[in-house]
Amino acid sequence: MNRSNPLLRLLSLGQSFWWDALSRRDLKNGEVEGMRDRMGMRGITSNPAIFHRAIAKSTDYDREVRRLASDGLDREAIFWQLAVEDIRDACEILRPVYDASEREDGYVSLEVDPRLARNPEATVAEAHRLHDWVDAPNLMIKIPATPEGMPAIRQVLADGISVNVTLVFSQEAHVEAMRAYVDALEERHRAGKSLDSVASVASFFVSRVDSLVDSKLGEEQSGLRGRAAVANAKLAYRNFEEFFRGPKWEGLSAAGARVQRPLWASTSTKDPRYRDVLYVEELIGPDTVNTMPTVTVEAFADHGEARADAVREGLREAEELFAALESAGISMAAITEQLLEEGVEKFEGSFEALLDSIDEKAKQLAQG
């Protein structure tokens, strides 16, 4: 390994780098192993938009799409067949990380059908279906942190399935995700079931917060721009450290439980005026994960600065910023609620676009 690569220093500072990308081409050409072995990648996350890019915008899946369509599978069945194959292969590549880290890392995340975000019963059933289909211990099922999703998250965890709680924007939703996790662990503990076989992360989205907040600020408030996302995440991390302490948690920890780590998601910088590794450098700290798209991986490897405990810095300034935003008429509660709704809609839209593209591709391939 190239020890001068700042990505490789993250682990010594308590943070795991996961890759927010997945495609069959990268699975077959050695890119995933390269990310693991040369860049220190310790997990993979996927979502409908990632699968859309991989399947619809390449020819890598054409032969399989044609075969499955000719076998009579509809577009949804084709998608899940392709996705499960990719996820299973990724789980196999990351299994050594999972084993060596004693189940701390090495996970691959697969999201339930985003159209089920408001249907907890169907979400639980879908989580079990995908978990059984992939059949890998290092699979994480992604479930959105909608109000309806929280009971599903708790149930799936209590059933022994690891969960990536996605689309977390607010500190309140983050606390609810942590509570659902601990409640599930307590249920398993009372039933005499293992705790060390269940893992969870809370995917706390970052850059989208700045994008929306900045759009609502006038020129006279320019000093507040580009700061809300990091402040929101740092205060969430403080809540995390406070949540996982005390006698109740110590009892669960002694029984084998591990904390639900904050996973910083949406970490590519959307505004070119901001440093392109802003959402990595400012959020480094113990018991955290940062899932980065390829462009951010390359940027941080090139010129990132890995600073210990960066996520614990500037908490007073974060509180003062939130007060200033409220004075400027910016409600963070309204901001994060809007982002959750938009996030669910975007994933639904990406999923529908993906299915449409598979349908169109299957028709074109059938016509030669």
CA distance 343 to 186: 30
CA atoms within 13 A on the CB side of 339: 26
The residue written with tokens 């308590």 in the block is 14
CA distance 246 to 243: 8
CA atoms within 13 A on the CB side of 3: 1
CA distance 278 to 270: 10
CA atoms within 13 A on the CB side of 136: 25
Active site (annotated) includes residue 361: no
Residue of 50, 287, 264 lying closest to 164 (CA atoms) = 264
The residue written with tokens 């509809």 in the block is 74
Number of residues written out for the chain? 368
Question: Which tokens hold the place of 202?
Answer: 């809370």
CA distance 122 to 156: 11
The residue written with tokens 């200033």 in the block is 324
Q: At what angle do helices 120-134 and 149-158 cross, to 10 degrees?
A: 40
Residue of 361, 295, 367, 290 lying closest to 41 (CA atoms) = 290
- Angle CA(268)–CA(273)–CA(278) in degrees, nearest 5? 40
DSSP 99: H
Catalytic pick among 142, 193, 234, 270: 142
**Ramachandran area for residue 226 (φ above 0: left; ψ -120 to 50: alpha; else beta):** left
For CA atoms 54, 60, 62, 63, give the dihedral sign: negative
DSSP 225: T
Give the chain's radius of gyration (CA, Å): 20
The residues carrying an active-site annotation are: 142
